[in-house]
Amino acid sequence: MNTIQSIAFVINLSKPKAKETAEALSVLAEAKGIQTKHITEFPFNKELFESIDLCCVIGGDGTLLGVVEAALEHDTTVLGINLGKLGFLATFSIEQVKADFLNILNGNFSIEKRSVLNCESGDGQSAYALNDLVIKENKNRGLIRLKVKSNLELISEYHCDGLIFATPTGSTAYNLSAGGPIISPNVEAIAMTPICPHTLGNRSVIFDSHNPIEVFFDDSPSQPLITIDGKAKFELKAISSIQITLSKRQFKLIQNSNNSHFSVVRSKLNWGDPTIR
């Protein structure tokens, strides 16, 4: 059984019903003697997650991605309540979480541990990605040249709009839109998918979890743009490469038993043939 003594509610106030949902859930938690705090300003200080057992994100997948680094740093379990559109990560609806919340407070829940990318530059900058790391040409002026190695072995040189490096969790995001594969979330792997490669020979590659991947930038174009989970990262003035590995840390997400990974893919993306269900 998982003991919960403190909860942080991360609330996206731009979403209708977010505030009132947080208040209703706080009442249930405080009635059981559980300490609560509300976080409504973004970005927030990661130290707010110190000694927090559970983070309830009320908003959507974008709001949940904003808590990844703090949750990893403090080993905090996260529950996502979806008030957005898709809800691949924030899989609980308001109705579902209200029905299940007392059970969750009593420690009756299952945790799914999701792989996270650890991204490091040669000058010591680092970041975590739950979904993906994307490298593109900085000014969106056209193609970019990138060289990829794994365990010091050359994989290929790419002339393309960019490269996507996705976790299994992120395989259903930008990676999927660019023609990459869907990967089950319990697989330890990294998917690399070129964006509009200028050749018919370049396709997605699946790397295992053991060998680091290194991407080298061509100096002739402008500096590349690197985004982590959709947000720009890294000061690139002095670096010529970036290394990508699967982190030893894992993101702990409470699983909604009514919404498995592939049921979400089927329902949210209309995947498969509905006539045979």
Under 8 Å between Cβ of 192 and 165: yes
| Cα–Cα distance, 195 to 41 (Å, whole number) | 34
| Cα–Cα distance, 196 to 179 (Å, whole number) | 9
- Say whether 229 is catalytic: no
Among 262, 277, 259, 276, residue whose Cα is nearest residue 91 = 259
Bond from prior residue into 221 cis (ω within 30 degrees of 0): no
Which residues are CB-contacts of 231 (< 8 A; sequence separation ≥ 6)? Answer: none
| Cα–Cα distance, 184 to 172 (Å, whole number) | 10
CA dist 141 → 60, 117, 232 (Å): 32, 28, 17
| Residue 3 burial class via C-beta count within 10 angstroms: exposed 0-12, middle 13-18, buried 19 and up | exposed
For residue 76, the 8-state DSSP code is: -
In sequence order, the β-bridge partners of residue 119 are 127, 244
Q: Are strands 6-11 and 35-39 parallel, antiparallel or unpaired?
A: parallel
Among 247, 269, 253, residue whose Cα is nearest residue 64 = 253
| Cα–Cα distance, 247 to 217 (Å, whole number) | 23
Which of 53, 61, 100, 132 is labelled catalytic?
61
Catalytic amino acids?
A: 61
